[in-house]
Each structure stands twice: as structure tokens, then as C-alpha cells.
Amino acid sequence: MRIIKLVMVLLFVGVGVTMAQAKKGTMVTAKISTPTVQCEQCKSRIERYLLTEEGVASSKVDYKHGITTVKFFSDRTNIENVKTAIANAGYDADNVKANEESYAKLPTCCKKPEDGGGEDKKKH
């Protein structure tokens, strides 16, 4: 009888632990296309911005290839929120267009080439 009770307690604990793990959510890595990122400044601007974003664990902007890799917790945020955060910082993120006001505030070198930004290092 005691052994049966013990087995039942162990089973119960086991189920509890499994449920707790499922509830915790998982860390998701997403690669987001950010083609309007121009330079090191843009990189640190976005990475700094994402640091304050709820649920984001880390981010890395590859401005040479225009790709931002973001690690976030799926139970605390989602990919759309992350894209919106990047857009709010002033940059296009996949299908989410940059917030116009934020984009207007970027230094010229960080804007799109058609607005005077980009590769031309003399402007930096």
C-alpha cells in the first residue's frame, strides 16, 4: 500500500514538472529581414531598442546582409511584436514597414540610399 502511494506521488510530481516546463515557453530564434539597416550605428540602435522589448532575450543585427537574428521567449512575446519593435526603431522588418516618425529622426547616414544614406562613407 505504501509503495502504491509513493508511486502515485512520484507520478503526480512528474506530471507537475512536465506541465511547468510546457508553461515556461520556449526560446525561439527568428531571422528577420531588415534591408534598410545601413551601418554599425543602425545595428546598435536596433539592438539597444530590442533590449527594452519584453520577452526578447538577445538580438544580433547583421547590417552587411540586412538580417536581424532575434531570440525571444514564445510565451512572453511573438514574432509580430519583435517586428513592430524594429519598425518603431525606424527600420523595415519583413512585411512591417518602418515607423515614419522614427525613420525621419534617423541620422542621414542611417537612411535608405535614396534618402542620402547607405554605403557612402564620406557622409559618416
Q: Which residues bind Cu ion (CB under 5 A)?
A: 38-39, 41-42, 110
One-letter identity of residue 123: K
DSSP state of 78: -
Q: Which is nearer to Cu ion, 41 or 81 (CB)?
A: 41
Say how far apart CA 33 and CA 10 lie, in whole Å. 47
Chain residue at closest Cβ approach to Cu ion: 110
> CB-wise, 38 or 77, nearer to Cu ion?
38
Q: How far is the CB of 81 from Cu ion (least distance, A)?
A: 23
Task: Please spell the DSSP secondary structure of 7-21, one letter per residue.
Answer: HHHHHHHHHHHHHHH
Task: In angstroms, give the least distance from the CB of 23 to Cu ion.
Answer: 40
Report the residue number, 49 or 72, with the smaller CB distance to Cu ion. 49
Q: Measured from the CB atom, is 23 or 122 closer to Cu ion? A: 122
Task: Output the smallest distance, CB 43 to Cu ion, in A.
Answer: 7
**Cβ atoms < 10 Å from Cβ of 40:** 12
CB of 66 to Cu ion, least distance (A): 12
Beta strands in 10-105 (DSSP E): 27-33, 56-62, 67-73
The whole-angstrom distance between residue 91's C-alpha and the CA centroid of its chain comes to 13
